[in-house]
Amino acid sequence: MIKPILAVTMGDPAGIGPEISLKALTHKKVYENAVPIIIGDAASLEKTKKILALDGFVLSPVASPNQAKGGYGQIEYIDLGLLKPDSWKLGEVSKEAGEAAFRYVETGIQLALKGEVDAVVTAPINKEAIQLAGHHFPGHTEIFSHYCGINDYAMILVSGNLRVIHVTTHMSMRNVCDAITYERVLAAIRLAKQAADSMGAKGAIAVAGFNPHSSENGLFGDEEERAIIPAIAAARREGIEAEGPIPADTVFVKALAGKYAVVVAMYHDQGHIPVKLAGFHVDEKTGRFTDVGGINCTVGLPIIRTSVDHGTAFDIAGLGIANEQSMLDAIEMAAMMARKNACKNVRKNACKKVKEPCRNS
């Protein structure tokens, strides 16, 4: 099968995004399954390449994705030319870096919507920086939904067997109670099923409770009875294998063991904490991260988007010590999802790019 073309947006140039993007593309296995192209700036990439002493690799600019050859040793990129060598500083929030980071994402989305790339993989952006640049989005997920014109979408985090989708994300805990509605929970269950199918995950969709012990039959709150239980019942009537509400203090343990395809979490930290416990590890002596695994996907979009599951890490930007594992995971997932999507299109006789029979069906 033809290798999918992946747009890798390099993130905020003041953070570790350029570093993990370049480091990931020094791994030969990436090129066995995909043609990666960094969307960024030559000024940042050249500076980062020098810091990392990647003398055995060549930065190769391309004007468009169809010019990319995907050969190992040639790190191909599209230069947006937004940065001058002295226009930003590593480790510092700035309007200039925020504007550049936003434009990389915008370009990746447009390329995917036009079918010039098969998926977009995003390095971290800094929310404060893009706000300074005048782009009032809480994060990547909302940027993608805006440009794709989609309202029903969700964030899903993946670390090994653990896959977690969220009913609510970037809002205060005070507002979460009101935001947990029958409609939102049912939409999240449907998207969880969609994500499981696209990732080839087997098993039921587990729906976490919101209150301690899933409210103990209303003793600790009414969110379960009012919204969560009716939504699960509706999903089952639609033919979705959904279980719950399951107390949050046990459901993630079972999911990590492979019992469930996806867990539907009710709020941001309920889902993020177990995924990061599973994928992140810190050196006891230095206090630095030794493993930063796991990825973030957006489901419900007309395009494929995966991302690292960590931030810009301004405190270590430019030191050359950032861990690229999450970026590698995100690239691998994007390539897998793109191949699976291509196979689906072959079976429907709707894909014009892939000429040979699907090997993954």
pLDDT digits (tens, 9 = 90+) for 229-268: 999 999 999 999 999 999 999 999 999 999 999 999 999 9
Looking at the fold, whether 317 and 277 belong to one and the same domain comes out as no
Looking at the fold, whether 61 and 121 belong to one and the same domain comes out as yes
- DSSP letters, 286-298, are T--EEEE--EEEE
**Which domain-ending residue is among 255, 276, 300?**
300
CATH of the domain at 226: 3.40.718.10
Q: What is the pLDDT of residue 183?
A: 96
Taking the C-alpha atoms of residue 174 and residue 273, their distance in angstroms, rounded to an integer, is 19
* Domain total of the chain: 2
Looking at the fold, whether 353 and 317 belong to one and the same domain comes out as yes
Torsion sign across C-alpha atoms 174, 177, 178, 184: positive
Looking at the fold, whether 164 and 264 belong to one and the same domain comes out as yes
Taking the C-alpha atoms of residue 233 and residue 169, their distance in angstroms, rounded to an integer, is 23
Taking the C-alpha atoms of residue 120 and residue 14, their distance in angstroms, rounded to an integer, is 21
Looking at the fold, whether 20 and 50 belong to one and the same domain comes out as yes
**Which domain-ending residue is among 248, 278, 300?**
300
Q: Residue 297's beta-bridge partner residues?
A: 156, 306
**Which domain-ending residue is among 248, 280, 300?**
300
Q: What is the pLDDT of residue 343?
A: 53
Q: Residue 190's beta-bridge partner residues?
A: none
pTM of the predicted structure, to 2 decimals: 0.84
Q: Which of 167, 204, 212 has its CA nearest to residue 186?
A: 167
Tokens of 355: 């000429």
- CA-to-CA dists, residue 284 to 47, 188, 293, angstroms: 31, 37, 18
Looking at the fold, whether 323 and 274 belong to one and the same domain comes out as no
Looking at the fold, whether 144 and 14 belong to one and the same domain comes out as yes
Looking at the fold, whether 14 and 129 belong to one and the same domain comes out as yes
Looking at the fold, whether 203 and 162 belong to one and the same domain comes out as yes
Looking at the fold, whether 135 and 279 belong to one and the same domain comes out as no
- CA-to-CA dists, residue 201 to 222, 252, 312, 350, angstroms: 31, 16, 30, 24
At residue 306, φ and ψ (nearest 5 deg) are -125, 165
Task: Express each pLDDT in 121-141 by its tens digit.
Answer: 999 999 999 999 999 998 898
Looking at the fold, whether 209 and 220 belong to one and the same domain comes out as yes
Question: From first to last of its 361 residues, what are the pLDDT tens digits of the chain?
Answer: 589 999 999 999 999 999 999 999 999 999 999 999 999 999 999 999 999 999 999 999 999 999 999 999 999 999 999 998 888 999 999 999 999 999 999 999 999 999 999 999 999 999 999 999 999 998 898 899 999 998 888 889 998 899 999 999 888 999 999 999 999 999 999 999 999 988 888 999 999 999 999 888 888 888 999 999 999 999 999 999 999 999 999 999 999 999 999 999 999 999 999 988 887 777 777 777 666 667 888 888 999 999 998 899 999 999 999 999 999 999 999 999 998 876 554 334 444 443 333 333 3
Looking at the fold, whether 3 and 145 belong to one and the same domain comes out as yes
Tokens of 26: 């020094």
DSSP 237: H
Is the distance from CB of 329 to CB of 294 less than 8 angstroms?
A: yes
Show the domain range for 277: 152-300
- CA-to-CA dists, residue 315 to 13, 139, 282, angstroms: 13, 20, 16
